[in-house]
Amino acid sequence: MKLEFKNNLTEITELEDFDPVKIFECGQCFRWRPDDSGVYTGLFRNHAVSVWREEEKILIGCDRETFEAVWHDYFDLDRDYAAIRSAVGIDEYMKKAAEFGKGIRILRQDRWEALCSFIISQCNNIPRIRKIIEALCENFGEPMEFEGKTLFTFPPAERIAALTPSELEPIRCGYRAAYIIDAARAVTEGRLDLEQLSSAGFEGAIKALKSISGIGDKVASCIVLFGLQMLDAFPMDVWIKRVLKENYPDKFSPSVFGKYAGIAQQYMFFYARSGQK
C-alpha cells in the first residue's frame, strides 16, 4: 500500500483489497451512500468524508492528519486481506466466494452505532433498515454541513436513553423501539460498558450483549464482529444458513476458517446475496 497526501486529499495506491462499492454495500454498514458518480459519503462519529475510486487509486477526501487519526483505522488498512482470502479459501465454494468478495474490508465501526443498527436489522430488509437508521439520525442526531449537504451524526446513547417509545415513533421501527431504548439506558446506566467489552473476551462480550433485551446470538455476533473487531465471530443469519445447508450439509463449525471466520462469513454473505453460485 502506498499513500500520498495532497491538499485535503489522501490517495491510496497499490492496495488490491479496497472496493468502495463492496465495502459499503456488503451489508456490514447502513449509512454510506453514493452520489450519481459513485462517490460515497459517510461518517465515523462526527467525522464526515467522501471516498471513491479512480482506476487503481482510492481517494479519501481528507488531509493527512485526519486520515491517520480516523480513516486509516476505520478502514482497517493494516490488515492483509489477500492473505485472509487465501486462508479462508478452504474449498471450491469458498474460493469463489472470496474471489467474488475481493475488495471487502471489515470496517471498524462505532460500537454504539453497530449495536443499535443491528438491533434494528432484525427481521427487516436492508432498504428499510437504512430508512429507519437514517430517520433515527435525522430526528435525534446532530446536523452538520458537509460539501453543501446536511448530514446527521448518529445519536449518542444518552440522547436515545432519554426518549420514550412514542417519541421514537417517527422512525417507524416498530417493536424494536423498546429494544433500542433499553439498550441505550443499559449503556448510560453502566449495565453495559461498551468500552470494556473487549476485555471480557469473546464469550464474555457475547454474554454481556445478550443480557440486553432484543439482542440474541445473531445480533450479538454482528456487534462483536463489526464493532469490536472480533474477526472470528460468525453471525448466522438466514442467508448464511441457506449457504450452509446447500454447501455444508453435514457438520459445520466456523472454526474451519480459523481466526478470520467472520471475514469468511462476510464473503459468503455477499456472494449468497448476489444470487450467484
Task: Tell me which residues touch DNA (CB under 7 A).
Answer: 26-28, 121-129, 169, 172-176, 210, 212-220, 222, 235, 237-239, 269
Say if residues 254 and 269 touch (Cβ distance below 8 Å).
no
Nearer to DNA, 123 or 199 (CB): 123
| Cα angle for residues 117, 118, 119 (degrees, 5° grid) | 95
Count of residues making up the chain: 277
The β-bridge relationship of strands 33-34 and 47-54 is: unpaired
Q: How far, in whole angstroms, is CA 227 from its chain's centroid? A: 7
Nearer to DNA, 58 or 215 (CB): 215
CB of 165: closest distance to DNA in angstroms?
9
Question: 3-state class of 17 per DSSP?
Answer: coil
CB of 57: closest distance to DNA in angstroms?
27
CB of 134: closest distance to DNA in angstroms?
13
Nearer to DNA, 67 or 74 (CB): 74
Nearer to DNA, 125 or 150 (CB): 125
Say if residues 36 and 117 touch (Cβ distance below 8 Å).
no
CB of 214: closest distance to DNA in angstroms?
5
Nearer to DNA, 159 or 210 (CB): 210
Cα distances (angstroms) measured from residue 165 to each of 115, 133, 139, 168, 250: 18, 15, 14, 5, 44
Nearer to DNA, 35 or 217 (CB): 217
Whole-number Å distance between alpha carbons of 197 and 192: 8
CB of 221: closest distance to DNA in angstroms?
8
CB of 117: closest distance to DNA in angstroms?
9
Listing from the earlier edge strand, what are the strands of the sheet with 33-34? 2-6, 9-13, 57-60, 47-54, 40-44, 33-34
